Structure 1
Amino acid sequence: MDKKNNMNPTQQENSGLSRRGFLKGAAASAIGAAAVGFMGGCSNTTANPGSTSTANPAVLSPDGIANYEVINTDLLIIGAGFGGLSAAFEAINKGLQVTIVDKGPFRHGGGAGFNWDVITTWETVYGKESRLKNIVNQNIYYNASTTDPNANMALTLLNRGECLPDRNADGSVHWYIDYPIVKGVEGTFPRNHHDAVYASPNVTVYDRTMITDILINDGVCLGAMGINLPTGEFRVFRSPATILSTGGSCWFYGWNSVSCDSINSADNTGDVDMAAFRHGIGIGDSEYGQYDFASTYPQGLAFGWSTMLNPDANEYYTICDRDGNKLVTKENGVDLERITYDRVYFNQSVARLLNQGKATDEGGILIDVKGVHLRPPIQRNIPVFESFNVDVESQLVPGKAEMYEHGGTPLIDDNMMSEVKGFFCVRGAGVFGAGGGSCVSVNHRMGSYTTRCAIEYMKTAAPIAEIDWSPVEKEYARLHEIRTRKADGGLRPHVVRQKIQKTSGTCMGIIREKDKLEAAKAELARIRKEDIPKMFVSDQSPTYNNEWKEAIEAYNLLDLAELAVNATLERKETRGQYLRTDFPEMDDINFKCMLVAYQKDDQLTFEKKTMPEVTQW
């Protein structure tokens, strides 16, 4: 069968799908028309152009051809978090038809989807002592900030209904964080932001959909593909530009009785980042993470946003050493002003102190909240401890470093585009660098900027006359081989996942030791060789099959873990939010650069890339 087909296959009715029509609302803008030209005038929803079968889309048809739905759009956004929503707002304002795909339920996931009453922070300036010193692409920050239509971030968040800050008695905003370059308020409800986006007739959302691969022809990204988790249906999303905006993938790090050592969403398993890696796209910043601390007792409450104590640089005074003495103090050599705006300095300072024999037996801290002010979301957790007969007002609670953000994303250029044309990344390598992860305001700014870059790309991109569909069928076959694999004496997906997490947890915190890194490298290689091939899914139904999802994720978590461990070993210095005990100092001569990982001939290699610096700012 010829694997290439015209871009405008016959449209067929697809029943049983709950979504909002692409064609509601006003006529397409000039940009939208350009996107249609790129796509060859394709219809919105089509059946598999390579098959006439009407069999269940979750299984192969009798003639052995994969069945899948094809969905066309002006702009595809993967991830409905803060960055993805900002990207969507920008696209809506330009008249584009936007498709948002999110792995979580209820149209959005991750931190934004939780609708926490959290602290929203934003930087009033970018300073050499904060974000720009972290080996980032400074051209990106300069371009994004100097062209940002929403430069006043506080006003933007208020207008979108995301931020409802507390007020002082005189009506002025109550700043929970009020530092020279960082401000923050309590009372953030991202759900209002989501609703503002979804009110547009130009937006269609596919939630509970796991993107497992990107569609690439001749070095150009034509969209992405994956499975609808409730039904097992396979879907291909075609677009002239694809924006990746998923969250930091921390779920390879650590394991306790109920979760990994992170409050990060369990959906953030690096699915698209690692798909890009398998396509030969470079992955940078894998060694970096962003950390605060989380209580680990009672064990069932550990690392849960609504069930833990969570001190960071803003509650440094609650952090104690193994003997209950305050750890982050001037007497211990810590600059208490600098920790308020420099999270790298804060975590390195804590790591150095703990490495002096001040850590608890589990390598962590003790938390003392007696008589101190806590953020409302944390204060509300105290009754949960009381239900476990733990009085946090009278006893110290053990805690450990918690990874809430992670690098390990595709390398991008000054215009947010990866090494494959048409594939853009809001959190691409070079945005956060050694800082290890994002903040809400940067995600907003970079999401908007990424859409502006994607629009400029679409204006000049050459139209695609035909598509080679063989990558779709290859990915379809890969996923269903995982689902139907037979393995005598095999391992369930959660067992493999926890092996990866426990291995990474020994060495990827804020203190990293060479012998533990080497041991983890060897164990992860063993898992890849011995455990992954015999991983099997006990229930082979394609519908509501969480084990199938976990099995697919295990491949991505293993890639993430190996990249993180190997990049740390490759970087023979201390940089970012961790201490490398055998190389405790920074080495700008050899390592003032990004380490970019590539897969070449089944071998992992690293290349050093110097990041551009802006002098006129």
Structure 2
Amino acid sequence: MIEHDVVVVGSGIAGLRCAIAAAMKGVSVGIVAKTYPIRCHSVCAEGGIGAVMSEEDSFDLHAWDTVKGSDFLADQDVVEFFVREIPKEILRLDNWGCPWSRDDSGRIALRILGGHSAKRTVFAADRTGFHIVHTLYEKSLMYDIQKYSEYFVTGLAVEDNRCAGVYAINLKSGEVEAIRAKATVLATGGAGRLYSFSSYSNTVTADGMAIAYRSGVPLKDMEFFQIHPTGLIPSGILVSEACRGEGGYLLNSKGERFMERYAPERMELAPRDVVSRAIWSEIEQGRGFESEYGPYVLLDLTHLGEDRIEERLPLVRETAIKFAGVDPVEEPIPVRPTVHYTMGGIHVNYCETSIPGLFACGECACLSIHGANRLGSNSLAECLVFGKVAGEKAAEYAERSEFRSISTDEEEKRIYSLFSNGDESAYTIKRELNQTMDRNLWIFRDEQGIMNALKKIRELKDRYRNIEVSDRSKIFNTDLTFAIEVGYMLEIAEVVALSALNRKESRGAHFRTDYPKRDDGNWLKHTLVRHGRIEYIPVKITKWKPVERSY
């Protein structure tokens, strides 16, 4: 049996930062993940990290932009803590060797992203996530952190209402193993593969959210999914907001910079929910382009010139050429909105869940910093700040706790029952789930569409009980792991639909055409879902009262 004081599930930026922080406290640490660390989804992050790094900026301004960007659903005490901590993480990573881009004076360079009032986004060209992951991975090698890569976590071991570790399939052997821990941290990322047109890696399947929810931990604000304005046609791969931060234009089929109609002050640098709705409105009103892969608009970088694109946006250029056959130096890039971030997640108090010994950080957790809409550059910042917090808190908890006995017997029965004969395919169910989410829980929503989605999701859950995993081998059985992931996604999709149906207003990324206005009197509150039951808790307000959100 594997045993560590602290076990971190997930090896992305949040998981690596958490493991390092725990190891620095002197406890035994293990990272359990279904991929290798340098293949985590975090390497796909491009634009940068928001931090107050200049005299023209301030903590209050960063906090205000975040709160306003969240459509006032962010908990302001957490935001204030967050904005003060992230500059320390930037300098720490600089000390650890992260190759931040520099300005002509040699200082760490800054760019502006949507919804921010100042240049505060620190970046490493447009490969920011890649370089942070490699920096953290190399730093982790300085500590006795054991890495269990290609271990697929299937559930939490909860004994006497305390988390005693996790169950995981060792993909190399196919055996279900118990991994004991005094403290367990979930850092498993978001739920973006509920949708088909998505910037997420195929590994991002709501694993941590689902296993926490099944163990009785509530999920918070799951109606809020960020749909990023610019996904590459036809793949959905992210075309970084850094493009607009560096001066890119959005154009419709008439050649107009249409953002003037929707956000005349900020134009292309309005928050993501505003820009995505603008793009989709242009498409619905017949001012988009048509293709065999669906409608789109254009992102024009040609006026920036080859030198600037190669310096600041080399990955965007490489990706556009490789996956769309378009060189942005010569012609605009075809884009449309793509699912990009899960604002909701596991309900935590900074990093602690309702189950003693269980912590969560990164995108799978909901603190809430991002509220109803995340500002670009705040996600990597959250992973670093609260990865550190979770690692330290988990280590402190482990130092005063004992190991508990756990057995794999029940988990093995549950997992291997998927090999029984059935007449449903997990692949078919996943495809129908994606179609349902794309159709009914997209940028614009209404009651009938959400009810249709909820009915379909519940039908798919019933059908899922009769799936068959046709590959009966144990070693690297991807049919089995895919089937388990589909189960996770169905669980979370139902929570998303329930939360969206009940919130009868439009706020941030949740836009109801039948309730098009924000309703602070009734809905300035967080949604909590526990075992299919909905409750609400208040938003924490410290300084900034809700006002009209305009750009």
Give the TM-score band, short-chain normalised: 0.7 to 0.9
Identify which of 513, 519, 536 aligns with 1:587: 519
**Aligned twin of 2:461:** 528
**Aligned twin of 1:367:** 298
Mapped contact 1:287–1:568 kept (Cα < 8 A): yes
For 1:371, the aligned partner's letter is T
Identify which of 38, 44, 48 aligns with 1:120: 48
1:363 CA drift (Å): 7.7
Q: Provide the C-alpha distance between the structure 2 equivalents of 1:448 and 1:458, rounded to a whole number of angstroms.
A: 15
Q: Provide the C-alpha distance between the structure 2 equivalents of 1:492 and 1:113, rounded to a whole number of angstroms.
A: 31
Change in Cα spacing, 1:492 to 1:416, as seen in structure 2 (3 Å) is same
**Aligned twin of 2:93:** 157
1:90 equivalent in alignment to 2:21:
yes
State the secondary structure of the residue aligned to 2:542. Answer: coil
Mapped contact 2:27–2:395 kept (Cα < 8 A): no
Change in Cα spacing, 1:170 to 1:127, as seen in structure 2 (3 Å) is closer
Q: Provide the C-alpha distance between the structure 1 equivalents of 2:494 and 2:95, rounded to a whole number of angstroms.
A: 42
1:93 CA drift (Å): 1.8
Q: Provide the C-alpha distance between the structure 1 equivalents of 2:264 and 2:63, rounded to a whole number of angstroms.
A: 17
Q: Provide the C-alpha distance between the structure 1 equivalents of 2:242 and 2:91, rounded to a whole number of angstroms.
A: 28
State the secondary structure of the residue aligned to 1:467. Answer: coil
Change in Cα spacing, 1:520 to 1:457, as seen in structure 2 (3 Å) is same
**Aligned twin of 1:266:** 202
Q: Show structure 1 runs of 5+ residues with no match.
A: 1-69, 255-260
Q: Provide the C-alpha distance between the structure 2 equivalents of 1:153 and 1:524, rounded to a whole number of angstroms.
A: 41
Identify which of 385, 396, 400 aligns with 2:336: 400
1:251 CA drift (Å): 0.4
1:80 equivalent in alignment to 2:43:
no
Identify which of 219, 228, 236 aligns with 2:161: 219
Q: Which moved more, 1:351-360 or 1:493-502?
A: 351-360
Mapped contact 1:247–1:268 kept (Cα < 8 A): yes
Question: What are the within-5 Å matches in structure 2 for residues 456-471 of structure 1?
Answer: 456-461=396-401, 463=402, 467=405, 469=407
Question: What are the within-5 Å matches in structure 2 for residues 139-538 of structure 1?
Answer: 139-143=77-81, 148=85, 151-162=87-98, 164-177=99-112, 180=118, 182-187=120-125, 188=128, 189-254=131-196, 261-295=197-231, 297=233, 299=234, 302-304=235-237, 314=245, 317-329=248-260, 332-337=261-266, 340=269, 342-350=271-279, 358=287, 364-369=295-300, 371-373=302-304, 374=309, 375-384=313-322, 398-413=334-349, 415-427=350-362, 428-431=365-368, 432-436=370-374, 439-461=379-401, 463=402, 467=405, 469=407, 472-482=408-418, 484-487=419-422, 490-530=423-463, 532-538=464-470
Change in Cα spacing, 1:143 to 1:313, as seen in structure 2 (3 Å) is same
1:327 CA drift (Å): 1.9
Q: Provide the C-alpha distance between the structure 2 equivalents of 1:380 and 1:97, rounded to a whole number of angstroms.
A: 41
Q: Provide the C-alpha distance between the structure 1 equivalents of 2:141 and 2:323, rounded to a whole number of angstroms.
A: 40
- For residues 359-410 of structure 1, give each alpha carbon's deviation from its aligned partner in whole angstroms, at most 9, with x where no partner exists: 5678853114262435221112343257x5x676777664321111113422
State the secondary structure of the residue aligned to 1:540. Answer: coil
Residue correspondences, number:
514
Mapped contact 2:6–2:398 kept (Cα < 8 A): no
Q: Provide the C-alpha distance between the structure 2 equivalents of 1:310 and 1:450, rounded to a whole number of angstroms.
A: 29
1:436 CA drift (Å): 4.9
Q: Provide the C-alpha distance between the structure 1 equivalents of 2:286 and 2:537, rounded to a whole number of angstroms.
A: 36
State the secondary structure of the residue aligned to 2:110. Answer: coil
Change in Cα spacing, 1:578 to 1:349, as seen in structure 2 (3 Å) is farther
For 1:423, the aligned partner's letter is L
Change in Cα spacing, 1:177 to 1:396, as seen in structure 2 (3 Å) is closer
Q: Provide the C-alpha distance between the structure 2 equivalents of 1:451 and 1:339, rounded to a whole number of angstroms.
A: 37
1:102 CA drift (Å): 1.4
| Percent of paired sites with the same residue | 20
RMSD: 3.0
State the secondary structure of the residue aligned to 1:119. Answer: coil
Q: Provide the C-alpha distance between the structure 1 equivalents of 2:166 and 2:199, rounded to a whole number of angstroms.
A: 28
State the secondary structure of the residue aligned to 1:548. Answer: helix
State the secondary structure of the residue aligned to 1:240. Answer: strand
Q: Provide the C-alpha distance between the structure 2 equivalents of 1:385 and 1:112, rounded to a whole number of angstroms.
A: 20
Greater Rg by CA = 1
Q: Provide the C-alpha distance between the structure 1 equivalents of 2:498 and 2:295, rounded to a whole number of angstroms.
A: 24
**Between Structure 1 and Structure 2, which shows a larger proportion of helix residues?**
2
For 1:279, the aligned partner's letter is S
Mapped contact 1:294–1:311 kept (Cα < 8 A): no
State the secondary structure of the residue aligned to 1:558. Answer: helix
Mapped contact 2:25–2:392 kept (Cα < 8 A): no
- For residues 108-150 of structure 1, give each alpha carbon's deviation from its aligned partner in whole angstroms, at most 9, with x where no partner exists: 4433345x7x33222323422324754233333445566x5x7
State the secondary structure of the residue aligned to 1:606. Answer: strand
Q: Provide the C-alpha distance between the structure 2 equivalents of 1:95 and 1:161, rounded to a whole number of angstroms.
A: 23
1:610 equivalent in alignment to 2:543:
no
1:549 CA drift (Å): 0.8
Q: Show structure 2 runs of 5+ residues with no match.
A: 53-58, 545-551
For 1:506, the aligned partner's letter is R
Change in Cα spacing, 1:524 to 1:83, as seen in structure 2 (3 Å) is same
Q: Provide the C-alpha distance between the structure 2 equivalents of 1:174 and 1:350, rounded to a whole number of angstroms.
A: 30
For 1:606, the aligned partner's letter is I
Identify which of 111, 114, 134 aligns with 2:41: 111
Mapped contact 1:82–1:443 kept (Cα < 8 A): yes
For 2:74, the aligned partner's letter is V
State the secondary structure of the residue aligned to 2:315. Answer: helix
Q: Provide the C-alpha distance between the structure 2 equivalents of 1:426 and 1:220, rounded to a whole number of angstroms.
A: 18
- For residues 90-115 of structure 1, give each alpha carbon's deviation from its aligned partner in whole angstroms, at most 9, with x where no partner exists: 1122112211111113x34433345x
1:574 CA drift (Å): 0.8
- For residues 429-488 of structure 1, give each alpha carbon's deviation from its aligned partner in whole angstroms, at most 9, with x where no partner exists: 233331258511121011111223223434555x45x5353xx32222111111x1212x
TM-score (norm 1): 0.76
- For residues 242-299 of structure 1, give each alpha carbon's deviation from its aligned partner in whole angstroms, at most 9, with x where no partner exists: 1111212200112xxxxxx1121211111121111112211112111222234554x4
Q: Provide the C-alpha distance between the structure 1 equivalents of 2:410 and 2:348, rounded to a whole number of angstroms.
A: 26
1:507 CA drift (Å): 2.4
Change in Cα spacing, 1:323 to 1:295, as seen in structure 2 (3 Å) is farther
State the secondary structure of the residue aligned to 1:280. Answer: coil
- For residues 210-246 of structure 1, give each alpha carbon's deviation from its aligned partner in whole angstroms, at most 9, with x where no partner exists: 1111111111111111112232122222111111112
Mapped contact 2:251–2:297 kept (Cα < 8 A): yes
1:598 equivalent in alignment to 2:530:
yes
Mapped contact 2:112–2:118 kept (Cα < 8 A): no
Q: Provide the C-alpha distance between the structure 1 equivalents of 2:411 and 2:529, rounded to a whole number of angstroms.
A: 23
1:173 CA drift (Å): 3.7
State the secondary structure of the residue aligned to 1:212. Answer: strand
Change in Cα spacing, 1:266 to 1:276, as seen in structure 2 (3 Å) is same
**Aligned twin of 1:549:** 481
